[in-house]
Amino acid sequence: MPSVTPYRRPYWDTQPEYLFPKYASTVKRAPTQPLVVLPHTLSEVTAPVFGYDEVKPGDSDLTKQHKGEPVGERIVVSGRVLDENSRPVPNILVEIWQANAAGRYNHRVDQHDAPLDPNFTGAGRFLTDKDGRYRFMTIRPGEYPWRNHYNAWRPAHIHFSLFGQGIVQRLVTQMYFPGDPLLDYDPMFTCVADESARNRLISIFDWENTIPEYALAYRFDIVLRGREQMPTENVR
């Protein structure tokens, strides 16, 4: 009896729609005309790489960027960056930014009634090694209200931005934490219709990389293209 290959959705069907009314700002941001498809040329394949000469060893430890210790639970966030064939992608610039433990960003636009932490800026970066690995030490971010709808709260999350050796290796996404009860109420998370793709946005508790008596750890692997591509904020 011949084997039957289960149906798998093409990777573009796992990406969020440009227009998702429950996520209020997409109503104004979504395109109103059909998109124009641009063919890939040499510049898309060999675009310049950003940040090689600026990434410093201490950039990946967000808890040691100031004189004092930041407030909150220390965590390790690490993982691998892979291509569509599960091969590691080295020399990818991974940048993160996040709110502090009280759920407030260190930015003038954030006027949330929560304390700022003078010892936590909330931004870091790392250049992946030959095995596509990255690693950050940071503080678990807090939840915060965002006024998208009545009693709207964002789940705890960390923003990720990736720059590679071409436009096809550009990705912006978010990492969430397992077991967060706010995920089911968050339209930024639920706008990813495919459940398996949506679950790829949730990190995995990583017992092996916890630091005893110091920090818990979470693993967040990122696939840049293909059927297992990480849902992204900037393209569909």
Lowest mean pLDDT among 46-55, 57-66, 176-185, 225-234: 46-55
User: Is 52 known to be catalytic?
Assistant: no
**100, containing H or E segment:** none
* Position 53 confidence tier, pLDDT thresholds 50, 70, 90: low
Distance, CA of 71 to CA of 86 (rounded, Å): 37
pLDDT for 6: 44
Class of the 20-27+47-223 domain? mainly beta
Task: Report the chain's mean pLDDT, rounded to a whole number.
Answer: 86
For residue 40, indicate whether it is catalytic.
no
- So where are the chain's domains? 20-27+47-223
- Asked if 16 and 191 count as a contact pair (C-beta separation under 8 A), the reply is yes
According to the model, what pLDDT value does residue 235 have? 47
Farthest-apart Cα atoms in the chain, separation? 68
Phi-psi region of 147 (alpha: psi -120 to 50; beta: other; left: phi over 0): left
Q: Examine the residue annotation and report whether 154 is marked as an active-site residue of this protein.
A: yes
CA distance 215 to 219: 13
| List 80, 104, 140, 159, catalytic entry | 159
Phi first, then psi, for residue 168 (nearest 5°) are -70, -10
In whole angstroms, how far apart are CA 114 and each of 19, 65, 99, 100, 117?
Answer: 31, 21, 11, 10, 10
How does pLDDT run across 7-33, given as a tens digit for each residue?
Answer: 344 555 677 777 777 777 777 777 888
Is residue 150 flagged as an active site residue?
A: no
